Amino acid sequence: MPRTDDTLNRADIGGFTLIELVAVLVAVSILAALAVPRFVQVQEQAQKALVDQIARVFKTSVDQVRLVYALNGLSGPQNNITGYGDGTVDTNGFGYPTDTRNRNTINNARCERVWQAMMQTSSTASRRRGNDPDFLVRSNRGRQECIYQYQRDPDTTRQFVYNAQTGDVTVTNP
């Protein structure tokens, strides 16, 4: 016998039961609980790799400045090294970069300018937090060091330190 609209029963109506909805919510919750820690781990690994890579690029740039200094037979502090970048990088008496405005020692502003002159990267560095940089710049003037601290991971201190007396770049990247 053919059915009419008056004879439809509950089994003919589409939709989910409460039990089915709860089961789907439980399954989604379990998947989220498994995926979130993995996502956080991948994000931490990416940040660590970025800091390592930026530090290596910085070290390579320092080495290139020192090489140009040596190949040109220079000695003592030098302003505007010819043959590197746009020719504005200044060095100390060891041939390592210190500024771009004819200064041969390190301070916060000079560390920032060294970054800007040597780094051809989309990552940014500034001594001012308000600029929302990738790396916050500060210096240890007594030790002639520039400290570049990664700002995109507030839970971990990721940074590298450039020593202008030795040319060394030391990474702290837990």
Q: Does residue 1 carry a pLDDT above 60?
A: no
Both structure tokens of 134: 């990738």
User: What's the one-letter identity of residue 120?
Assistant: Q
19-48: average pLDDT:
80
Q: Structure pTM?
A: 0.78
pLDDT reported for residue 153: 86
* 7 has pLDDT over 60: no
Structure confidence at residue 50 (pLDDT): 93
Any domain includes 83: yes
Structural domain includes residue 35: yes
Q: Do the domain assignments include residue 69?
A: yes
pLDDT level of residue 6 (50, 70, 90 thresholds): low
CB contact at 8 A, 97 and 65: yes
Ramachandran category for residue 36: left, alpha or beta (phi over 0 → left; psi -120 to 50 → alpha) = alpha
- Look at residue 12 and tell me whether its pLDDT is greater than 60: no
1 located within any domain: no
pLDDT band of 134, cuts 50, 70, 90: very high
Domain count for the chain: 1
Spell out the residues 6+ positions from residue 24 whose beta carbon is closer than 8 angstroms to its own.
16
Q: Give the domain extent around 156.
A: 20-172
Residue 121: is its pLDDT beyond 60?
Answer: yes
Q: Which is higher by pLDDT, 74 or 38?
A: 74
